[in-house]
């Protein structure tokens, strides 16, 4: 039995951007609502790209393998796919698909896209065709809408949380549910369609989890990546993963081996970056860690505080000469900060019994507070984002019980990285001191007494200046 779907879509976007975006079939999860996850399996220029698609979210009961069969720049992309049989291998199943995507420039910023999908269901009689057609037609219309939503320019998002969002988050439990993958999957718009060609992005903590996922997405958007991480071997592995995933050029990835818990190393690396990259478009302070026991760095700082607060702030300060009017800083924080007020009397945890989760939450609360302070400045625009509850190597190591208990609802790394990459790439973005989650602004506190006052903000700013002065 065979079915054919056809849609004609016009978008206000240059044909080159439409072609680049839709040719990368791993983006299909952003515009086809039936696709739960899409993964590029290889990206070597000499080999047509291969993809693995998972459908029927969230159970992933249907998996398909796709291969690019033909491409003409700015004109045509053709792919062929087949479902995988239920034998745990790569044997073809009953569904075979051929997708043709044609592009026609109607103007400098106007493109017509013709999307045709031919589906063949092996072993099913043609008499069943009328039963499938209505559902497939509905899917076809949803796909067309998804492509249009992905590629048409977006209005500037809200700077402040909606009233419904504030009420929802204040109730805590329903708000926390959205920390799970449910929050990501229920997003109305997942498209990352803004190209970042020629833009320089500095990213900390890129070797695993959220950071690695963000690096892959940013590379796919054309960004030049400057990766700050620990260990030459880990950085080499990370670079290889990014190249294989994105297909970007090796020249677009630059790695620096730096121990970010060391303010001296962070300072030296930042000063080197100013020489190597006179203009920086985005800084993503992603590196973070939670420690079960109190440890101090060689410089005498509590380790979680150094990694999660002092180093990001120091980088932000030292790289400021490279920022332009359009530059952005994205600080990755955590939902755990909702439970924490600023520990003004004991930031280093020298006076009270150490609590790893508490130290982590306090550092992230302080980083969010610093973000709010920075939003009052002229340059650059600074944002804080919360990745939700994610299944990352860091969570597995530092919170094993939580990881086991919540394993069924945790986000994967790509879901967790989504908002950070969106904040880095969105064309229009208002200055906002909100806490961003799933591309929407959220309240910065939900428990009375946890929101820093103006005097506490002033104290934190001065305290940070004092701590970091020797390294500036």
- Listed by start position, the domains of the chain span 2-151, 163-471
CB burial of 248-283 (b: ≥16 within 10 Å; e: otherwise) equals beeebbbbbebbbbbbebbbebbeebeeebeebbbb
By CB atoms closer than 10 A (0-12, 13-18, 19+), residue 62 is: middle
Strand order in the sheet with 440-442: 253-257, 224-229, 200-204, 280-285, 323-332, 381-385, 435-437, 440-442
Q: How far apart are CA 221 and CA 208, in angstroms?
A: 19
What class does CATH assign to 2-151?
A: alpha beta
16-30, 31-45, 179-193 — which one is most confidently predicted on average?
Answer: 16-30
Given a cut of 80, whether residue 189 has pLDDT beyond it is no
Given pLDDT bands bounded at 50, 70 and 90, which one contains residue 128? low
Given a cut of 70, whether residue 170 has pLDDT beyond it is yes
Q: Where are the alpha helices (DSSP H) in 99-248?
A: 129-151, 163-170, 173-177, 181-185, 209-220, 232-246
Overall pTM surpassing 0.85 (yes/no): yes
The answer to whether the CB of 307 falls within 8 A of the CB of 288 is yes
Mean pLDDT of 429-435: 89
Given a cut of 60, whether residue 43 has pLDDT beyond it is no
Each residue's pLDDT tens digit, 292-305: 999 999 999 999 99
Each residue's pLDDT tens digit, 346-366: 999 999 999 999 999 999 999
Q: CA dist 344 to 79, 369, 452, 467, Å?
A: 58, 12, 10, 14
Q: Where are the alpha helices (DSSP H) in 230-344?
A: 232-246, 263-276, 303-305, 311-318
Q: How far apart are CA 440 and CA 161, in angstroms?
A: 7
Given pLDDT bands bounded at 50, 70 and 90, which one contains residue 42? low
| pLDDT-wise least confident of 51-55, 58-62, 328-332 | 58-62
CA-based torsion, 337, 342, 345, 347: positive or negative? positive
Given a cut of 80, whether residue 379 has pLDDT beyond it is no
Return the pLDDT at 28. 92
More confident residue, 215 or 125: 215
Q: How many CB atoms lie within 10 A of CB 86?
A: 11
Q: How far apart are CA 82 and CA 415, in angstroms?
A: 26
Given a cut of 60, whether residue 261 has pLDDT beyond it is yes
Residue 64, both tokens: 């398909």
Given a cut of 70, whether residue 460 has pLDDT beyond it is yes
Q: How many CB atoms lie within 10 A of CB 407?
A: 10
368-377, 400-409, 424-433, 452-461 — which one is most confidently predicted on average?
Answer: 452-461
Architecture of domain 163-471: 3-Layer(aba) Sandwich (3.40)
Given a cut of 70, whether residue 37 has pLDDT beyond it is yes
Mean pLDDT of 21-32: 90
3-state SS, residue 256: strand
Each residue's pLDDT tens digit, 199-208: 999 999 999 9
Given pLDDT bands bounded at 50, 70 and 90, which one contains residue 449? very high
The answer to whether the CB of 111 falls within 8 A of the CB of 105 is yes
Name the nearest CA neighbour of 34 among 106, 152, 136.
Answer: 136
Name the nearest CA neighbour of 332 among 379, 284, 399, 366.
Answer: 284
Return the pLDDT at 295. 96
Return the pLDDT at 192. 67
Q: How far apart are CA 452 and CA 364, in angstroms?
A: 13
For the chain, percent of residues with pLDDT exceeding 70:
92
12-21, 150-159, 199-208 — which one is most confidently predicted on average?
Answer: 199-208
By CB atoms closer than 10 A (0-12, 13-18, 19+), residue 425 is: buried
Mean pLDDT of 227-244: 94
Given a cut of 50, whether residue 44 has pLDDT beyond it is no
Q: What is the mean pLDDT of the chain?
A: 89
**Sequential DSSP letters for 195-207:** --TT-EEEEES-S
Given a cut of 70, whether residue 403 has pLDDT beyond it is no
More confident residue, 143 or 177: 143
Q: Where are the alpha helices (DSSP H) in 277-387?
A: 303-305, 311-318, 356-374
Residue 247 backbone class (left: φ over 0; alpha: ψ -120 to 50; beta: rest): left
């Amino acid at each position: 039995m065979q079915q054919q779907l056809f849609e004609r879509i016009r978008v206000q976007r240059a044909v080159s951007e439409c072609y680049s975006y839709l040719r990368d079939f791993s983006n299909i999860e952003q515009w086809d609502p039936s696709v739960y996850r899409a993964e590029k399996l290889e990206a070597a220029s000499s080999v047509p790209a291969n993809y693995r698609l998972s459908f029927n979210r969230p159970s992933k009961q249907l998996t398909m393998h796709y291969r690019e069969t033909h491409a003409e720049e700015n004109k045509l992309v053709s792919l062929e796919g087949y479902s995988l049989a239920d034998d745990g291998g790569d044997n073809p199943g009953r569904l075979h698909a051929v997708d043709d995507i044609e592009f026609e420039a109607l103007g400098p910023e106007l493109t017509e896209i013709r999307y045709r999908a031919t589906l063949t269901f092996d072993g099913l009689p043609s008499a069943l065709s009328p039963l499938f057609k209505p559902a497939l037609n509905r899917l076809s219309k949803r796909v067309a809408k998804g492509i249009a939503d992905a590629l048409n320019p977006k209005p500037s998002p809200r700077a402040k949380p909606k009233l419904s969002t504030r009420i929802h988050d204040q109730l805590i439990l329903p708000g926390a549910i959205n920390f799970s993958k449910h929050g990501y999957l229920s997003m109305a718009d997942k498209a990352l369609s803004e190209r970042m060609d020629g833009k320089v992005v500095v990213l900390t903590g890129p070797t695993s989890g959220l950071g690695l996922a963000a690096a892959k997405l940013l590379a796919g958007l054309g960004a030049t990546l400057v990766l700050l991480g620990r260990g030459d071997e880990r950085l080499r592995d990370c670079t290889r993963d990014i190249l294989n995933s994105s297909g970007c050029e090796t020249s677009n990835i630059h790695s620096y081996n730096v121990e970010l818990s060391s303010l001296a190393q962070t300072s030296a690396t930042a000063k080197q970056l100013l020489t190597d990259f006179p203009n920086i478009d985005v800084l993503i302070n992603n590196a973070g860690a939670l420690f079960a026991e109190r440890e101090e760095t060689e410089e005498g700082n509590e380790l979680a505080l150094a990694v999660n607060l002092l180093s990001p702030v120091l980088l932000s300060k030292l790289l400021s000469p490279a920022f332009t009017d359009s530059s952005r800083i994205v600080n990755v924080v955590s939902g755990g900060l909702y439970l924490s007020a600023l520990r003004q009397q004991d930031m280093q945890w020298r006076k009270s019994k150490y609590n790893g989760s508490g130290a982590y939450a306090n550092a992230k609360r302080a980083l969010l507070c610093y973000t709010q302070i920075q939003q009052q400045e002229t340059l650059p625009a600074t944002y804080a984002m919360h990745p939700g509850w994610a299944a990352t190597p860091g969570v597995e190591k530092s919170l094993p019980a939580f990881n086991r208990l919540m394993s069924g609802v945790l986000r994967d790394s790509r879901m967790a990285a989504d908002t950070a990459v969106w904040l880095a790439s969105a064309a229009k973005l208002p200055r906002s001191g909100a806490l961003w989650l799933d591309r929407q602004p959220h309240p910065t506190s939900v428990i009375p007494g946890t929101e820093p006052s103006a005097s506490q903000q002033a104290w934190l700013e001065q305290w940070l200046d004092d701590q970091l002065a020797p390294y500036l």
